[in-house]
């Protein structure tokens, strides 16, 4: 069972906006650690999508945005496109693990 909780799946039609939640606790996200998000297509390595809660690496479309509040974080995808269909993972750090990292269980995004 993952330390960070994500919905197993979300879906949306092309053009719509979807959000993926990442719920933690006072030992991880709530302890002030940053949250990062990754996108993974089948058979490929994950790719950094959002870092430090809300920042996009170069090349990531501005349709992707991240936020953090309290013990939770969210990834929003607007203007949904078929190519966005992938698995999404949040990641933060856990003070109970001396600051080592933890992942969410992952969310499968289906574009209808």
State CA 29 to chain mean position distance: 13
Length of the chain: 112
102 binds other proteins, rule: CB under 8 A: yes
Answer whether 109's CB lies under 8 Å from 7's CB: no
47 binds other proteins, rule: CB under 8 A: yes
72 binds other proteins, rule: CB under 8 A: no
Total residues interacting with other proteins, rule: CB under 8 A: 27
Using DSSP bridges, classify how beta strands 47-50 and 18-23 pair: parallel, antiparallel or unpaired.
unpaired
Q: How far is the CB of 30 from other proteins (least distance, A)?
A: 15
Please identify, using beta-carbon distances, which residue of 33 and 64 lies nearer to other proteins. Answer: 33
Please identify, using beta-carbon distances, which residue of 1 and 13 lies nearer to other proteins. Answer: 1
Q: List the one residue out of 56, 47, 53 whose CA is nearest residue 67.
A: 53
Q: Per the structure block, which two tokens stand in for 24? A: 């933690």
Q: Which residues bind other proteins (CB under 8 A)?
A: 2, 33-34, 36, 38, 40, 45-48, 51-52, 57, 87, 89, 91, 93, 97-106
């Amino acid at each position: 069972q993952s330390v960070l909780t994500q919905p197993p799946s979300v879906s949306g039609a092309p053009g719509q906006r979807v959000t993926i939640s990442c719920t933690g606790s006072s030992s991880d996200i709530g302890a002030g650690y940053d949250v990062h998000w990754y996108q993974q297509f089948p058979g490929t390595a994950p790719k950094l999508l959002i870092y430090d809660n809300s920042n996009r690496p170069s090349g990531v479309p501005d349709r992707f945005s991240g936020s953090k509040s309290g013990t939770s974080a969210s990834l929003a995808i607007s203007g949904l496109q078929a190519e966005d269909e992938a698995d999404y993972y949040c990641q933060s750090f856990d003070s109970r693990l001396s600051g080592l990292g933890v992942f969410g269980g992952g969310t499968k995004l289906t574009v209808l």
